[in-house]
Structure 1
Amino acid sequence: MTDPVLVEEHADRVVIRLNRPEVRNAIDLATVEALHEACRTLEATPLVALLAGSGGTFAAGADIAQLRERRREDALAGINSGIFERIHKLPMPVVALIDGYALGGGAELAYACDFRIGTPTVRIGNPEPGLGILAAAGAAWRLKELVGEPLAKEILLAGRVLDADEALSARLLNEVVPAEELDAAGHRLADRIAGQAPLAVRLTKSVFHAPRDAHPLIDDVAQAVLFETQEKHDRMTSFLERRSRSDEEKR
């Protein structure tokens, strides 16, 4: 049996690839379970994650054959919403690499990531009401935060599907690149993130997503932790030494 998700580990990042191209990477229970396993690894050893599809598609949605048979208890169990929220809360940033369709659950998976890079063939949206259900795995509230209420309502209530240019204009995509450059673009962004102090990135992500009433206390506490790190001292010392050398060269 083919693994529904492939995980490629690097020293400072992990590539997670949905691996059901024969069904456009439709998200089924086996995929959800494999993503939970990947999350367990990333929670234990925090690294930047690149999340991609295979076969020219990110994820065309949830597995409709399974979805059709789900009932009230399945909805209340939060099968998809639980894994997408877990991905959203991973300690280090997650970059979605979107080629082709990202619809329904596939779109909600992309919304849960911190960054989204796409190709010119991207089609992203939430057609769930056309199937008699709603986008209940994050889109109904997360999309408004990403693109604003008017556009979010067009997508969620009127079935609008954005192409790559529209998604880029709405800043739902951070960048659009040719399909053959998608992985490289993801790694370039991962390089930039990996060049920062890892703990500073982790705490910044946590502070960014903290409730409004947690500020400014959580900012001060996080900064207090960072002020005590050797990496803060070393990076600032290096900065001051570089500036000193630059000033001397100008004299």
Structure 2
Amino acid sequence: MTSVTPPRPVLDPAAFTALRLEERQDRLLARLDRPAVKNAIDQTMVDELHAVCAHLERTPKILVLAGTPADPQRGTKGVFASGADISQLRERRRDDALAGINSSAFERIASLPMPVIAALDGHALGGGAELAYAADFRLGTPQLRMGNPETGLGIIAAAGAMWRLAELVGEPTAKEILLAGRILTGEDCLRIGLITELVEPAELLPAADALADRIAAQDPLAVRLSKQVFHAPREAHPMIDTLAQGMLFDSDAKFDRMQAFLDRKQAR
């Protein structure tokens, strides 16, 4: 009797209002979609990001995060996210801060099984920048403006920037961004390694897809374990590396891929 693999669950795009979703077999594109307020991150968007994470935790796929593209006909500029929704942020008090509303969502995104790619155009400020910092890869455009102006609003960048940014760009530059409000251009981001590729806006999503294609061509389990081992604390190494390798050495994909490599080599 032949077993039938059940179809993998997919998200219903109609159930989302702050995100626009496009799902494929190996990836999910989630566009921040509140263009009237420059994609300011509100509670609805946070809730929908949690829903996306819950889906990708059950059905691991590459996540591509993007914003609203530029529309030359209407004369509108592209934007990733201008930050947290200030109208909501202003009303929050101590208990709201202690709940870690944005930081919990961004940490969940950073911990997803498969890699996360942030495609950045226009403003990626405050919470928008912190969302991008949580990604594994960041691509940008010359129009990108990234930074954390929170101290100018009487608060700190508490959704990951205080520790992720130093890991990404080093302490001196991180302090210039976090303490002095420096806003980086796309060229700045490329120069300091905060983004890995600088492309024109029309090429941003194709570049993200090309990167996703390269990831998808790898063995999914090897990618998942590589991400987990990479982010493990130093004291977990080399034990965690050895354990992960032990799992992979017995996987069917390891034998199939290595045999295919040998076959190609012999055929030359």
- TM-score norm. by structure 2 comes to 0.91
- Aligned with 2:90: secondary structure? helix
Alpha-carbon distance, 1:72 to partner: 0.2
The match for 1:170 is 192
The match for 1:32 is 46
Summarize the alignment of residues 104-183 of structure 1 with structure 2, pairs less than 5 Å apart.
104-183=126-205
For 1:12 and 1:58, the matched residues in 2 are separated by 23
1:15 to 29, 42, 52: 29
What letter is aligned with 1:198?
Answer: P
What letter is aligned with 1:37?
Answer: A
The match for 1:97 is 119
What letter is aligned with 1:144?
Answer: A
1:81–1:138 CA contact under 8 A, matched in 2: yes
2:242 to 220, 225, 229: 220
1:48 to 62, 70, 75: 62
The alignment covers a number of residue pairs equal to 246
- Aligned with 1:124: secondary structure? strand
What letter is aligned with 2:47?
Answer: E
2:16–2:48 CA contact under 8 A, matched in 1: no
Query: Percent same amino acid among aligned pairs?
Result: 61
Higher helix share: 1
2:91 to 69, 73, 93: 69
Structure 2: runs of 5+ lacking an equivalent: 1-14, 70-77
- TM-score norm. by structure 1 comes to 0.97
Deviations along 1:230-251, whole A, 9 cap, x unmatched?
A: 00000000001111111xxxxx
Summarize the alignment of residues 182-197 of structure 1 with structure 2, pairs less than 5 Å apart.
182-197=204-219
The match for 1:249 is none
Give the RMSD, CA atoms, in angstroms: 1.0
* 1:227/1:155 CA distance change after superposition, 3 Å: same
The match for 1:242 is 264
Deviations along 1:35-91, whole A, 9 cap, x unmatched?
A: 000001100000011000114100000000000000000000000000000000000
Structure 1: runs of 5+ lacking an equivalent: 247-251
Q: Which runs of 4+ in 1 moved over 4 A?
A: none
1:7–1:38 CA contact under 8 A, matched in 2: no
What letter is aligned with 2:117?
Answer: V
Alpha-carbon distance, 1:2 to partner: 7.5
What letter is aligned with 1:192?
Answer: R
- Aligned with 1:69: secondary structure? coil
Alpha-carbon distance, 1:183 to partner: 0.7
Summarize the alignment of residues 78-93 of structure 1 with structure 2, pairs less than 5 Å apart.
78-93=100-115
Alpha-carbon distance, 1:11 to partner: 1.0
